Amino acid sequence: MYIPLWLIVLTVLTFFVFYRQTHKEAEFSPIRISIEPKWDELFKDYKITNDDSWKNKIPDSKDYNVIKNGINFTILKPELIYDDDRHHFKTTVDFRRRIDEVSSDKDGAFFVGIYVRHRVEGYEIGIRTPDSYAKNYKERMEYKGFLGDDSDLIKIATIPYSELLFPLYDRQSNNKKAEIDQNLQKFGWTREAPDAELNLVAPEVCLEHKYFVVEYDYV
């Protein structure tokens, strides 16, 4: 019986994709990530505010507030993300929070915000300011383009995937560990050495950047 070549190729590709996806999910371990911005440095260096008056505007309630709580999420599967702060599921890492305490235009377009989103090399963290929005709007009007393509976002840091998503990789290998450490440093992060005794109870890993502190642990 004659079997077309295209059918053979299609069958092989289907099995290959299925194998890769199954293998990928088998290697993946769910991970909880907590991102805490260093607000004082961030607001000052990006010319958002020159004083500490915003601190008096932070509500005392136990409700979620991005300044008090940062951004927290759990990656259950590569395409199943849980927003720990607002308690709902997403299919991708893309979190955007308004910062009302430093936004004069809370209900309009000229607000201050912070975001985390997945990119090619890792999870990108950055801000959105009234100035970045105004610049984007002006450029769009000059070129008669459309708004809403995220060009008003200001990239500040990237958490590389190599640091987060390969807990089962052979990190005991000096070459692999050196590669992961080098990649982390390339993006401006340092890893805090875990306390040997505390790590048995709370095995979080802490990463520090000029503008952010990130803690993560596998669940």
Six-digit token string for 105: 């235009």
Euclidean distance between CA atoms 72 and 61, whole angstroms: 18
In-domain check, residue 5: no
**What single-letter DSSP state applies at residue 152?**
T
Domain range for 153? 29-218
SS3 37: strand
Residue 64 and residue 86 in contact, taking contact as beta carbons nearer than 8 Å: yes
Six-digit token string for 72: 């927290």
Residue 85 and residue 69 in contact, taking contact as beta carbons nearer than 8 Å: yes
Q: How confident is the model at residue 148 (pLDDT cuts 50, 70, 90)?
A: low
- The CA distances from residue 140 to 132, 136, 146, in Å, are 12, 6, 6
Q: Which residues contact 211 (CB under 8 A, 6 or more apart)?
A: 37, 38, 41, 42, 45, 156, 157
Six-digit token string for 5: 């070549």
Euclidean distance between CA atoms 163 and 159, whole angstroms: 7
In-domain check, residue 2: no
Q: How many CB atoms lie within 10 A of CB 39?
A: 22
- The pTM assigned to this predicted structure is 0.80
In-domain check, residue 106: yes
In-domain check, residue 163: yes
The domain tally of the chain equals: 1
Dump pLDDT digits (tens) for 62-105.
999 999 999 999 999 989 999 999 999 999 999 999 999 999 87
In-domain check, residue 52: yes
Residue 197 has pLDDT above 90, yes or no: no
Dump pLDDT digits (tens) for 18-64.
444 444 455 678 999 999 999 999 999 999 998 999 999 999 999 99
